[in-house]
Amino acid sequence: MNVFRLTGDLSHLAAIIILLLKIWKSRSCAGISGKSQILFAVVFTTRYLDLLTSFISLYNTSMKLIYIGCAYATVYLIYVKFRATYDGNHDSFRVEFLVVPVGGLAVLINHNFSLMEILWTFSIYLESVAILPQLFMISKTGEAETITTHYLFCLGLYRALYLLNWIWRYYFEGFLDMIAIFAGLVQTVLYCDFFYLYVTKGGKDRKKVMLP
Amino acid sequence: SQVPLRHDEL
């Protein structure tokens, strides 16, 4: 555990909690892509199957349980509790265009051809593109609430910090995982455009951040 | 069972 890894995890946790609280307090999931949230729930479920087979640390187990729990709670709020506020017409990204190629890639390129490893690899690849329905929705409506941009910023920052964590681990532990690094790079790049807008436009107009 | 090191990460 190094400082980048820890701040990355905390940034990820902050993003998840910001989104849950935003929906809960405003009693609305307007502007939030339910499809992205389902993808994240799938990501956590397929990656954390090792909860059933092995114990790594109390920190590891509790964070995994919190992430999974929050992901399903978010999906529940969007599709059940506040379903009336869900903007399905604007959430029109075709997720099969992500899930099918990512599934194929996980079967082709993985560390070990076993069910657990393929599902782990699938979750890594899927996470890297899971935010696309959300970004697509924002570009379609042309705006995002400030709190939604904070959520996206924390979520993007998390993987960027993980990149620094992997550089650290490579130098100090000789640890190198090309699958995670490649997917993490793709994931971070997808947020770059948003990072730029968040920093440049976020300060001037506190109400809303427009995306092209 | 033996878990790969990378599974330590979230």
Tell me the average pLDDT across A32-51. Answer: 97
- With an 8 Å Cβ cutoff, the interface of chain A facing chain B consists of 5, 9, 12, 50, 53-54, 56-57, 60, 63-64, 67, 111, 120, 162, 165, 175, 177, 180
Best of A44, A50, A58, A158 to mutate (most B CBs within 10 Å, chain B)? A50
Residue with tokens 């995982």: A177
The type of residue at A208 is: K
The conformation of residue A151, written as its DSSP 8-state character, comes to H
Distance from CA of B2 to the nearest CA of A (A): 8
Q: Is A186 helix (H, G, I), strand (E, B) or coil?
A: helix
Q: What confidence tier does A200 reach under pLDDT thresholds 50, 70, 90?
A: confident
Task: Please tell me which of the candidates A54, A60, A64 has its beta carbon nearest to residue B1.
Answer: A54
Q: Distance (Å, rounded) from C-alpha A49 to C-alpha A56?
A: 13
Give the tens place of pLDDT for each residue, A139-173: 998 889 999 999 999 999 999 999 999 999 999 99
Q: Please check the confidence at residue B3 and state whether its pLDDT lies above 80.
A: no
Beta bridge partners, A145, equal A208
Q: Distance (Å, rounded) from C-alpha A164 to C-alpha A146?
A: 27
Residues of A in contact with B3 (CB under 8 A): 50, 53-54, 56
- Give me the count of residues in chain A: 212
Q: Distance (Å, rounded) from C-alpha A45 to C-alpha A54?
A: 15
Residues of B in contact with A60 (CB under 8 A): 8, 10
Q: What is the ipTM of this complex?
A: 0.84
